Structure 1
Amino acid sequence: MLVRHINEIKVALSPYNVASKSSRLFLNRVNTNEARKMNPTLKITTDILPDPKAASHIQVVYRDGKKLALDSDKLKIGHLLQAVNKHAKKLEEVEQANSW
């Protein structure tokens, strides 16, 4: 995952909702020592929703200011990671092109 190009991640989830599994797995992937080493300034905010039937959602803010909002209950973890990485890959390509 290209967390180097992400400034902020906000995750709101209901821990007892079965549909929020992708959100929990996403948090697990983003909040690792490796990710923290890649981007020590990454701000991760987690909101626990009190309603067990509440829908989970994720908001990602990239370094260029673009915001991505995802309804994570409707996505599997692979699709969720792919959606978040899509814009980060574009930023990575621009960074590599500018370094030549």
Structure 2
Amino acid sequence: MTAPISVTDATFAEEVLNSDVPVLVDFWADWCGPCRMIAPVLDQIAAEQDGRIKIAKLDYDANPQTPQKYGVLGLPTLLLLKNGEVVEQITGAKPKRALLKVIEPHL
């Protein structure tokens, strides 16, 4: 079972942009209630889709460069990157079924 990985401004390119599989990046913060609500759903997707997608979590407050580069203003924001390019953006906490509906066409 694979869990989400933590990424930082320093590791974003290596872990996300250079990934062989699509990466769903969760921009989150400790003070964000909806971020805490969506975390178990992302854990489930990471486990169920192991090898097909990577789930990465980026702490919004500790890593200001990456959210600024991608124009992330609200939390949680999920960006799905494939071959280093953003192919989907999801803002706000969504149920698992809604997330999978957006993700699966890119797997």
Gaps of 5+ in 1: 1-5, 93-100
Runs of 4+ in 1 over 3 A off after TM superposition: 87-92
Pair 1:49–1:42, CA change in 2 (3 A): same
Cα shift at 1:16: 3.0
Cα shift at 1:90: 5.5
Cα shift at 1:47: 0.3
Pair 1:87–1:69, CA change in 2 (3 A): closer
Aligned to 1:67: 87
Within 2, Cα distance between the matches of 1:91 and 1:31? 15
Asked if the contact 1:9–1:45 (Cα under 8 Å) also holds between the matched residues in 2, the reply is: yes
Name the SS for the 1:31 alignment partner: helix
Within 2, Cα distance between the matches of 1:12 and 1:46? 6
TM-score (normalizing by structure 1): 0.51
1:82 corresponds to 2:97: yes
Pair 1:41–1:17, CA change in 2 (3 A): same
Larger Rg: 1
Asked if the contact 1:10–1:44 (Cα under 8 Å) also holds between the matched residues in 2, the reply is: yes
Within 1, Cα distance between the matches of 2:105 and 2:52? 20
Q: What does 1:15-94 align with in structure 2 at a 5 Å threshold?
A: 15-32=30-47, 34-36=48-50, 40=51, 42-50=53-61, 55-61=75-81, 67-72=87-92, 75-76=93-94, 78=95, 81-87=96-102
TM-score (normalizing by structure 2): 0.49
Q: Deviations over 1:37-88 (max 9, x none)?
A: xxx252322101228xx6211012469x87110112xx34x2xx33332245
Within 1, Cα distance between the matches of 2:98 and 2:27? 17
Gaps of 5+ in 2: 1-20, 63-73
The structure in which a higher percent of residues are helix is 1
Asked if the contact 2:25–2:79 (Cα under 8 Å) also holds between the matched residues in 1, the reply is: yes
Equivalent residues, number: 75
